[in-house]
Amino acid sequence: MDRKINAAAFKARCLALIDEVAETGQPLTVTKRGKAKVQIVAVREKPKTLWGATKGTFKILGDIVGPIDMDYDEDREWRNITGKFDDPPARYTHDPVDDRAGPEARKAGKAKLRRGSRRK
């Protein structure tokens, strides 16, 4: 909820209102003749580094160091990393596309380009 205050009243209590906005974090709008002229907002200090920037924003539940599932096999994972797979990877992962008659059919369908100017 935005609070509003007249410019004359703000001028009389300026320092106290600035401290109040800084403590509560609630913005204050200064008006002049009923129209909003300035908004006073609290300044939030940015962290100097990213380290610790998210402190207190989430909570860790459970074990974050152990494996995700109980069927985790370290030996199998090591074989996958070193390239000694349990089963060889498939050569093609999808069905080949039908090219009709091959590259000749694709070349025959293209129009020939003419170079130079056309004379009548």
Domain with residue 30: its CATH number is 3.40.1620.10
Considering the domain boundaries, does residue 77 fall inside one? no
Considering the domain boundaries, does residue 13 fall inside one? yes
Residue numbers of the domain that contains 12: 3-40
Token representation of residue 18:
């600035």
Q: Count up the domains in the chain and report the number.
A: 1
Considering the domain boundaries, does residue 32 fall inside one? yes
pLDDT tens-digit map of 8-58: 999 999 999 999 999 988 999 999 999 999 999 998 877 667 777 777 788
Considering the domain boundaries, does residue 120 fall inside one? no
Considering the domain boundaries, does residue 79 fall inside one? no
Integer-rounded Cα radius of gyration of the chain: 36
What global pTM score does this model have? 0.39
Q: Is 5 exposed, middle or buried (0-12, 13-18, 19+ CB in 10 A)?
A: middle
Token representation of residue 49:
């580094």
Residues facing residue 3 across a β-bridge: 28
Considering the domain boundaries, does residue 52 fall inside one? no
pLDDT tens-digit map of 50-107: 777 777 788 877 777 876 666 667 777 787 778 776 666 666 556 555 555 555 655 5
